[in-house]
A and B are shown apart, each in its own frame.
Chain A
Amino acid sequence: MSTPRTDVRLDVRLEAAPMQPVGCGTCGATVLARKSSWDQTTLQWTAAALATCAERRTTTAGSERPNRNAFTGCSALTAAIRAAAVAGQLDVQSDEPLPTNPEAHP
């Protein structure tokens, strides 16, 4: 047997399709993102990006609940990632078409 590894392993799913950079249109932060489908998102922040995020800075911790003071995510960045995917700048691994509202297409 070979010597056991002690390094931090890479997500197997990233071998074929790695994370890609996406910029936030609102604050300019750059993060790494990946979408396996329209509704799945993987998002890697850096300390610098987090410090730049405007929504993060305006979030206030005022809840009496132990878990409710955490920052749940940036809506501007979510929109930017989605826009990048729609524009084809960020790959979407599944080949399903962008789900649309059927009401809009009679």
Chain B
Amino acid sequence: MTTHDQIRQIEVDAGPRRFARGWHCLGLARDLTDGKPHQINAFGQKLVVFAGEDGTINVLDAYCRHMGGDLSQGIVKGNEIACPFHDWRWGGDGRCKQIPYARRVPLRARTASWPTLVQDGMLFVWNDPQGNPPPADVTIPRIPQVDDDRWTDWIWYETVIEGANCREIVDNVVDMAHFFYIHYSFPTYFKNVFEGTAAYQYMDGAGRDDVRPATPSRNNPTVLGTTSVAAYHGPSFMIDEVTYHYEDLDVDTILINCHYPIDENSFVLQYGIIVEKKDGISDADAELMAAKTGKFIKYGFEQDVAIWKSKARIDNPLLCEEDGPVYQLRRWYQQFYVDVEDVTPEMTDRFEFEIDTTRPNEAWRAEVEQNLAARRG
């Protein structure tokens, strides 16, 4: 029997009661510009997203300031959203433009509207608990490949994660070992760099013989390895540039891994994929590859979700030297949860951490060998 003071206790700090300051992707613009209102539960609130006749996408608080009607159940009329309860018309700027049965609109008929950005096919909203507008230097990098004919169109997935705070998914960016155990990859190089509002992950991976198709075919070629440069740009939007190395060619992909909080204990996870159409690969094959990559990533996230659903929140993780910089990542992440004037240099100063993969790779090679031996029977 161990005594109490020999046991390391899991500690849980006060969970954030606010939602991160920053640009959050709500989805693809093409899915939100159908002239219908869309309900989005985010940042502990209910929002309505709609595009009027002018094509501009607007994001408003969903609850009508008249008698509380749900605007996401309303109808888009012209450039306004009409409340289903008494037909008050709200513009994208949050102002009530018209009440069909009234002589005039009362004073202060204004609801919360959210700054938006449509870029590279995606809709972003700016969340700031202090209500400040987005600073000009806090941006999402452009992805010119989206408009390039040599790349496929977005394949996009969305899934709701219940029972976990979105910090769990952000932790992944430093968690090298989980890529082997949860995602069937084999990291051989792993480095993180945090600076300002960006958190980078440089990862090279080897192919895994034990998860490969037993008989590779033209449609299912053997991945020899991957090179990945991934980065969070702000608290919730990650771009991951992954090159898949095959025997006779390299295929470039760009993945998006983004989320927005529904509340403190649930979030919406979204991911998108575009794939470069290489010479000698037909458009159909490139689309197929994008779809396959999407399936693989979907499977990967399902593995994460299974872990998140049953794990504990832990603020004092016990780390070995082969783990990544979990504490420093959380220190970086903290900048999005404090008032902008309380952001300290330690949260944003450049920090680098390169893992020594020697020992992990020895252990993983042995495990792959064991799996192969088991497969051979």
Contact = CB atoms under 8 A, between A and B. Distances in A.
Given A12-B318, A47-B349, A67-B230, 11 more contacts: A9-B331, A11-B319, A36-B356, A38-B356, A40-B356, A42-B352, A42-B353, A45-B352, A67-B231, A68-B241, A69-B141
B330 interface: yes
B263 to A, nearest CB: 19
Interface residues of A, number: 34
A76 B200 CA distance: 21
Interface residues of B, number: 48
A42 B330 contact: no
B62 interface: no
Given A6-B14, A37-B356, A47-B349, A12 B319 contact: yes
Interface stretch (B49-57, B123-131, B203-211, B321-329): B321-329
Contact of B325 (A9, A42, A65): A42
B355 A40 contact: yes
A73 B189 CA distance: 15
A11 B325 contact: yes
Contacts of A67: 141, 200, 229-231, 239-241
B345 to A, nearest CB: 6
Interface string A23-59: 0000000000000111111111111001000000000
B241 A66 contact: yes
Sorted nearest first, the 3 A-B pairs with minimum C-beta distance are A36-B321, A40-B356, A39-B356
Contacts of A36: 321, 356
A40 B354 contact: yes
